[in-house]
Amino acid sequence: MNVVVVESPAKAKTINKYLGSGYTVLASYGHVRDLPSKDGSVQPDDDFAMTWEVEAKAAKRLSDIADALKGADRLILATDPDREGEAISWHVLEVLNRKKAVKGATVERVVFNAITKSAVTEAMKHPRDIDMELVDAYLARRALDYLVGFTLSPVLWRKLPGARSAGRVQSVALRLVVDREIEIERFKTQEYWTVDADVTAGTDPFLARLVKHQGKKLSKFDLSNEVDATAAKAAVEAASFKVASVEKKPGRRSPPPPFTTSTLQQEAARKLGFSAQRTMQAAQRLYEGVDIGGETVGLITYMRTDGVQSSPEAIDEARQVIAGRWGKEYVPESGRIYKTKAKNAQEAHEAIRPTSLSRNPGSLRLEPELGRLYELIWKRMIASQMESARIERTTVELESADGKTGLRATGQVVLFDGYLAVYEEGRDDEADEDGGRLPAIREGADAKVLAARADQHFTEPPPRYSEASLVKKMEELGIGRPSTYASILTVLRDRAYVRMDKNRFIPEDKGRLVTAFLEQFFRRYVEYDFTAALEEKLDLVSAGELDWKALLREFWKDFAAQVGEIGELRTTNILDALNESLGPHIFPDKGDGSDPRVCPTCGTGRLSLKTGKFGAFIGCSNYPECRYTRPIAAPDGEEAAESGDRELGQNPATGQAVWLRIGRFGPYVEETGGEKPKRASLPKDWPPAGMDLEKALRLLSLPREVGAHPDDGGMILAGIGRYGPYVQHNGTYANLPTADEVFEVGLNRAVTVLAEKRAGGGRGARGAGAAALKELGAHPADGEPVKILAGRFGPYIKHGGTNANVPRGKDPQELTLEEAVALLAEREAKGGGKKPAKGKAAKPKAEKPGAAKKAPAKKAAPKKAAAKKPTAKKTAAE
């Protein structure tokens, strides 16, 4: 018997059919272990030891795999063919080895790039060991991201209230958006003019542009005003011209390679209007398979790849399809072989392509979203193996009789369309630089100007980033990995660091503030070159050329020192630096020569950044005498966005308009059409100003199906209700911490949260309802019980209002009462919990004759408050 482990149940079901009765295929449901979301999960002082935690649902799945291994001959780890897939196989094997479940079974690792019978059965013939170099690269990346997030984010929370988080790649992506906005704000518009003429040379009229005036070749800004442009226009109208030359240059346009993760995201954004996240979700479904004729078939190869190469079989099939459908003249002499140009490309995998090109888009009945993406992938693959387009570029030069004035006409003719018959790559700038088609023009012919025009133009700043152009820029700089781009861009939006306007990223003040802080105090870690160099080092780990812990030691030495240094700075010092850095943005020039930082209310105070419970704002230095405050720099129209209705766009699935509306009970989104329009209220942490169509559609799609509960198969739903975000199963509701998690929570996490709720522990389980692991006895100081409880962040000791963590690596069942009392005392010495002695000592001062009976009531209140304090503190640290 052979036991095969894959990630998803959909893959397990399909692969089981392919392999037959001699195989048992089980799903791990993604990652089975993760670093607990608390400080200390990665310990630099212990040579970066990492603490992994198996989630409750994952534990059941691993037990199922262990049970299936009893008497099995082989354990085949068949997770995805990338770094993450390698890591999942390693995690599964690590847990099974600890359970001593593998025993005499042979352990093999297989990978396949497509979920088809031929790909799977062929992969089974070529097993290998787990690639530990890839696992090391995963561990290094995971540790780096954890250390940056859990070390840098608390500094942000203390110094900049209202900031949500910082991340190793997320913060650099945010800096790109902010830097582009600053570039736009600093841009100085420059006026220039052009002169065009409609000309005939014994032919149909064609368009020509003035390129020489008064014997001088014109540059872009030579005609800088209307007077000069009018004079140049008059010179064109007065001159007589001859065709000085007609130059025809044959050219070829070669097809682009098949899709990588990055190019798929870019092209789907340009042509389909998909976000990166939406693209990857649809691609995942195409990869895992859809039902065709009663059988689940994977339609595309693996969608997380930097590779542009295709298998010889795929190339041969493409050439056959091209010859049959477009003719042999569209098939090049030999198949096109593409090579990855990126210097830091990940492990080489095939490009994204259809598993069978014989399944053309018109023959499949797919959901609209899947069908459009599949058609894009199919056409790109077909085009990549077609003949180049042959074009002819023509340039016509016209000279005046005195040689002082010159016109130029350009155009092109497509002699053979080649791959353009199927596909043309989208562009961010769709301007046609080659001009239109020209008539047949004879050299030496007399030419006559029929009409001339002088047109005014102004230079424009660089455009804001779209999803496509931001992904392209990140890839060019070597920042992050294509498989992470979708989640990075989603985090920036959901944390309100940016907002979308006409599918372009605009930084919010919160995002600019975070970026300014990091640039002032952690500049090295948001430098593009530094981040790209770190990615290159991670690739060296993948290649076995660099030890992963050596990389971590080098990074941590300087990073920890920097964090410690900034942590000692007073908040006023930080705000002064930010006032200077953000000055032009938060204190814009009034244009009248007056000081923009003078308080408009009292006239003597000086405006500066302040921080409060809900984030940063501008306040007066004369506070509290002067209470003037305002937002940092409210964008134009933000007030309207907060208080008025606006259309966000159309639902691509229904064609109905989606609106943001401000109602009596707060803001909500609404899809018009039908007798009862669909509506959804905005979560409290989603500001109306940051709402866009994608967010609205996500809200309107709720509740979301998370997956089938492993105990009874009932569907688990995630949604946002009257009491906030939740997951629900069979009448049990469990709260989630943020609205963002509603769209991200996986099956493992949902099952765990529901189990905690049913056990009575609720969300955090750090209270009286948490499950007791052990009763240690009475505390020697006051006789109250000391217990060890099971909490969300691991086992902990509880005594009255004080909680203390069980030391990492210590078995809670072996902990003694004496050890627990010592840990509780240490916790109280650090300010945790409530010290009973202090409370008792304070009461006699307040007591009066006759008040003795009320003392117990007074004692109970502080104790109850103290019990809640650690919970609030832990939640903030998350």
The catalytic site residues sit at 302
d(CA 308, CA 574): 47
d(CA 307, CA 418): 24
Kindly give, in sequence order, each residue whose CB lies less than 8 Å from that of residue 489, ignoring residues fewer than 6 positions away: 173, 275, 276, 277, 467, 470, 471
d(CA 24, CA 21): 7
d(CA 107, CA 120): 17
Rounded to the nearest 5 percent, the helix, strand and coil shares of the chain are: 40, 25, 35
Secondary structure element (H or E) that encloses residue 207, with its range: strand 206-213
Tell me if 706 sits within 8 A of 747, measured CB to CB: yes
Instruction: For residue 689, give the DSSP letter.
Output: G
Q: How far is CA 137 from CA 378, 600, 678, 754, in A?
A: 33, 56, 46, 34
d(CA 151, CA 824): 26
How far is the first Cα of the chain from the last one, in angstroms, to the nearest whole number? Answer: 45
d(CA 286, CA 297): 9
d(CA 597, CA 317): 69
Q: Burial letters for 163-185: b for 16+ Cβ neighbours within 10 Å, e otherwise?
A: bbbbbbbbbbbbbbbbebbeeee
d(CA 52, CA 396): 70
Tell me if 524 sits within 8 A of 566, measured CB to CB: no
Tell me if 338 sits within 8 A of 257, measured CB to CB: yes
| Count of other CB atoms within 10 angstroms of residue 139 | 20
Instruction: For residue 706, give the DSSP letter.
Output: E
CA 41 to chain centre: 24
Q: Which residue shows structure tokens 């005036």? A: 213
Kindly give, in sequence order, each residue whose CB lies less than 8 Å from that of residue 108, ignoring residues fewer than 6 positions away: 74, 75, 76, 77, 127, 128, 129
d(CA 718, CA 733): 9
Strand ranges of the sheet holding 666-671, from the earlier edge strand across to the other edge? 646-650, 657-663, 666-671, 678-681
Residue 121: closest CA among 131, 130, 110, 129: 110
d(CA 44, CA 710): 37
Residue 747: closest CA among 27, 4, 20, 15: 27
d(CA 737, CA 683): 12
Tell me if 220 sits within 8 A of 459, measured CB to CB: no
d(CA 559, CA 544): 25
Kindly give, in sequence order, each residue whose CB lies less than 8 Å from that of residue 101, ignoring residues fewer than 6 positions away: 65, 66, 69, 70
